[in-house]
Amino acid sequence: MKNKPSSTIHYPLSTIHYLQWQRVAEYAIVVAIVLESIVFAVIAPQFFSVPNLINVALSIAITGILAVGMTGVILTGGIDLSIGSVAALAGVVAALIAGGGGMGGNGVLLGGIAALGVGLVVGLFNGVMIARFRVPPFVVTLAMLTICRGLAFIVTGGRSIGNLPPSFGFLGRERVLGVPVPVVIMLVVFAVGWFVLKRMTFGRYVYAVGGNREASFLAGVNTKRVTLLVYVLNGLLVGLAGVVLASRLGAGVPNAGLQYELDVIAAVVVGGTSLSGGRGSVIGTLWGAIFIGVLNNGMNLAGIDPYMQRIALGVVILLAVLADQLNKSPGELKT
pLDDT of residue 20: 58
pLDDT digits over 75-121, tens only?
Answer: 999 999 999 999 999 999 999 999 875 555 588 999 999 999 999 99
Q: How much of the chain, in percent, has pLDDT values that exceed 70?
A: 88
Rg (CA), the chain: 20
At 49-58, the pLDDT tens digits run 999 999 999 9
User: What are the chain's domains?
Assistant: 25-326 (1.10.3470)
Q: Output the CA torsion sign for 29, 202, 77, 86.
A: negative
Q: What is the pLDDT of residues 137-188, one digit of tens each?
A: 999 999 999 999 999 999 999 999 998 999 999 999 999 988 999 999 999 9
**CA nearest 314: which of 271, 269, 262?**
262
Task: Report pLDDT for 324.
Answer: 78
* pLDDT at site 32: 92
Tell which residue, 181, 240, 179, has the closest CA to residue 53: 179
Supply the pTM of this predicted model.
0.90
Which pairing describes strands 179-180 and 175-176: parallel, antiparallel, or unpaired?
Answer: antiparallel
Three-state secondary structure call for residue 86 = helix
Confirm if 285 and 267 have CB atoms less than 8 A apart.
Answer: yes
Task: Report the pLDDT averaged over residues 281-293.
Answer: 95
What is the identity of the amino acid at 19? L
Contact 265, 70 (CB under 8 A): yes
Phi-psi region of 257 (alpha: psi -120 to 50; beta: other; left: phi over 0): left
pLDDT band for 28, please (50, 70, 90 cuts): confident
Q: Tens digit of pLDDT for each residue in 297-311?
A: 999 999 999 999 989
Instruction: Name the 3-class secondary structure at 10.
Output: strand
DSSP string, 124-186: HHHHIIIIIS---HHHHHHHHHHHHHHHHHHHHTTS-B----GGGGHHHH-EETTEEHHHHHH
pLDDT at 239 over 80: yes
